[in-house]
Amino acid sequence: MGTAIRRTGRNPLNSRHSTGQPAALGARHCSDLGAYEAVVQGEFSGGRDRTPSGRRSDLLPSQRFRTVSGDLMPLALYTFGMFTVPADSAANDGFRELNDPIFEMVDQSKGLIARSGYASDPGPNSWGPEVYPRFYRETGDGWSPATLSLWTDMEALFSFTYFGLHAVALKRGREWFQQPRWPPLVMWWHSDPGYPTWAEGVLRHEHLHDHGASPTAFDFKQPYDETGKSTKLDKSRLNKIRAAGI
């Protein structure tokens, strides 16, 4: 399995290249044991996190599976893309112009629980060594956009992804990114304490590519709920989220 680990650089979507090997799926990937529970309890002060307690209860799913500790099970998201040309090329200026505003918007999103930062960038802490899936190919600058985050539910994530400024960036994606031969994103329900790691995101991303959607790794086309059952997005909840502007 080919992977890549970040070296240096400044872009909140990037990871730098080296050699690495993620652990096998099924292992516990807890870069900070108990950190997620601390987030829920409002005790975590570092990085980009907040508690769900301040969210409007009417905009949360009415029935959600809970972890053993009683917390709502968060939805993990890993995304990966490859630029057509080296990242610093002028052809990517439009991407860079949208980058910071989009991160400001995601940080304000009610659906976001927490997101990983990057080891060499200011901001949130990185959730473990930053690795890439085997689809990564060096283009001369050592990195490509990748993200790792935790969300309250699929509808909140879908709304942020496909509406607003992020949707504008997606529509312009062909200006900057290669046509992917891999899934652009992967989701899974994160039941462990602590945060998911970049290595786990890579493994689940490759698992989705190799085996298709399952409770282990899925996308919006074929999602699964927290109990492992096939499900669909709640359209009424999506409408509420859009109406509330979150």
- Establish if 109 belongs to a structural domain: yes
- Residue 214 to residues 51, 155, 210, 228: CA-CA distances in angstroms? 29, 18, 11, 8
Q: Which two tokens stand for residue 155?
A: 């509808």
* Mean pLDDT of the region 204-231: 97
Q: Is residue 57 part of a domain?
A: no
CB-CB neighbours of 58 under 10 Å: 9
Banded model confidence at residue 200, pLDDT cuts 50, 70, 90: very high
Specify the DSSP class assigned to residue 91.
G
Q: What is the CA radius of gyration of the chain?
A: 17
Select from 100, 102, 82 the least CA-distant residue to 184. 82
In a domain, 59, yes or no: no
More reliable by pLDDT, 66 or 122:
122
Mean pLDDT of 223-240: 93
Residue 158's SS3 state is helix
What percent of the chain is modeled with pLDDT above 90?
35
- Domain CATH code at residue 211: 3.30.70.100
pTM passes above 0.85: no
**CA 149 remoteness from chain centre:** 4
Give me the pLDDT at residue 246, please: 57
* CA 15 to centroid of chain Cα atoms: 14
pLDDT (tens digit, 9 = 90+) per residue, 31-53? 332 333 333 233 222 334 433 33
CA distances from 196 to 27, 97, 134, 205, 233 (A): 11, 29, 19, 13, 23
| Residue indicated by tokens 């990195």 | 143
pLDDT band at 94 (very low <50, low <70, confident <90, very high): confident
Task: Using the predicted structure, report yes or no on whether residue 9 has a pLDDT greater than 90.
Answer: no
- Decide if 152 is inside a domain: yes
- Whether 102 shows a pLDDT value over 80: the answer reads no
| Residue 197: closest CA among 25, 14, 29 | 29
Q: Which residue has tokens 């502007």?
A: 245
Total number of domains in the chain: 1
4 neighbors 15 (Cβ within 8 angstroms): yes
The mean pLDDT of 106-128, rounded to a whole number, is 88
- Average pLDDT of the chain, as a whole number: 72
Q: Quick check: is 158 in a domain? A: yes
How confident is the model over 162-187, as pLDDT tens digits?
Answer: 876 566 666 666 767 788 889 999 99
Report the C-alpha gap between 235 and 240 in whole angstroms.
9
pLDDT > 90? residue 216: yes
**Would 56 be classed as within a structural domain?**
no
Lowest mean pLDDT among 35-49, 54-68, 137-151, 229-243: 35-49
35: in domain: yes
Instruction: Provide DSSP, 206-222.
Output: HHHHHH-SBTTBB-SSS
Amino acid 74: pLDDT: 96
- Structure tokens given for 89: 């090329």
Residue 58: inside a domain: no
Structure confidence at residue 173 (pLDDT): 64
Q: pLDDT band for position 222 (50/70/90)?
A: very high
Helix (H) or strand (E) holding 148: strand 146-151
Q: Are strands 75-80 and 146-151 parallel, antiparallel or unpaired?
A: antiparallel
Cβ atoms within 10 Å, residue 35: 20
pLDDT at position 116, please? 95
Domain range for 93 is 4-50+64-244
